[in-house]
Structure 1
Amino acid sequence: MRTLHLGLRVADPERALAFYTAVGYEVVGHVPESPSGQLTMLKLPDDEFVTLELVYDPTATVAVGAGGLSHFVIQVPSMTTTVAALRGRGLEVADPTSPDDSADFLTSWVTDADGNRIELVQWPPRHAVGLSGADWARQV
């Protein structure tokens, strides 16, 4: 099994699409009508497949931003370059910090208009693409 993508409920599809394309996502396709609402499929340039689905349903009774999502994470090759680019596109991005006080493992945060938080991560050199058991091996 594997995770295919994250479906994110949004209040305003145009506003959400403007934000996520400013972050760097590309539109792969649209589903104008589905049981869940209108769907917009997105991926980042380095992703092979869709990783984010914007879900808009004006008739939904579930509050947007209140569904229990804590955050999702985007890996970036250079925190400095990414933060500068996002700020250049008018997005508010938190100043990067390092979870281990190093210069090459950095995180930062950006929040969309619906309150969904995105963590940006620059892994240290030679780190695996994602988290694995090796990240917790020292805790055992």
Structure 2
Amino acid sequence: MKTILFALRVSDLERSLRFYAAVGYVELSKIPADDGSRLVWLRLPGESSVSLELVHRPADGPVEVRGFEHFAIEVESLAETLDRLTAGGLQPGPVELPGGADGPKTSWVVDPDGYRFELVQWPPSGAPTFD
């Protein structure tokens, strides 16, 4: 088994598509439904298949982010990623060192509906492994 994607319900599909394109996601497919709903499949460069699905259901009313903590995206260079996101009009948070100076570097970003995601640059020793 493996995780293939996660889905986020969004209130304004075009706004969310612009946001996630600025993050670096590439649109793979839009899937319309008879009720006016749409699904959009996205992936990051380097990923072999869909990893994020945006769900737009206007009839369901406003999006309320409840019970969702965050998702994480691994980056090679956090500094370069933050520069690119800022130049693209996004507002990433400051660099944090949750594991101390020898641990990962992280930053938080919040999308237009309030979903949080964490950017993570692993230290030279790599990501933690669990045997």
TM-score, scaled to structure 1: 0.85
Contact 2:95–2:106 (8 Å) recurs in 1: yes
State the superposition RMSD in angstroms: 2.0
Displacement after TM superposition at 1:37 (Å):
2.9
Which residue number in structure 1 is paired with residue 109 of structure 2? Answer: 110
Are the structure 2 counterparts of residues 52 and 126 from structure 1 closer, same or farther at C-alpha, using a change threshold of 3 Å?
A: same
- Count matched residues: 131
Q: Give me the identity figure in percent.
A: 41
Contact 1:28–1:42 (8 Å) recurs in 2: yes
Local SS of the residue matching 1:133: coil
Displacement after TM superposition at 1:34 (Å):
6.9
Which residue number in structure 2 is paired with residue 133 of structure 1? Answer: 130
Gaps of 5+ in 2: none
Local SS of the residue matching 1:29: strand
| 1:89-108 alignment runs, 5 A limit | 89-102=88-101, 105-108=104-107
Distance (Å, rounded) in 2 between the aligned partners of 1:36 and 1:67: 24
Which residue number in structure 1 is paired with residue 28 of structure 2? Answer: 28
Gaps of 5+ in 1: 135-140
Runs of 4+ aligned residues of structure 1 deviating over 4 Å after TM superposition are none
Displacement after TM superposition at 1:67 (Å):
3.9
TM-score, scaled to structure 2: 0.91
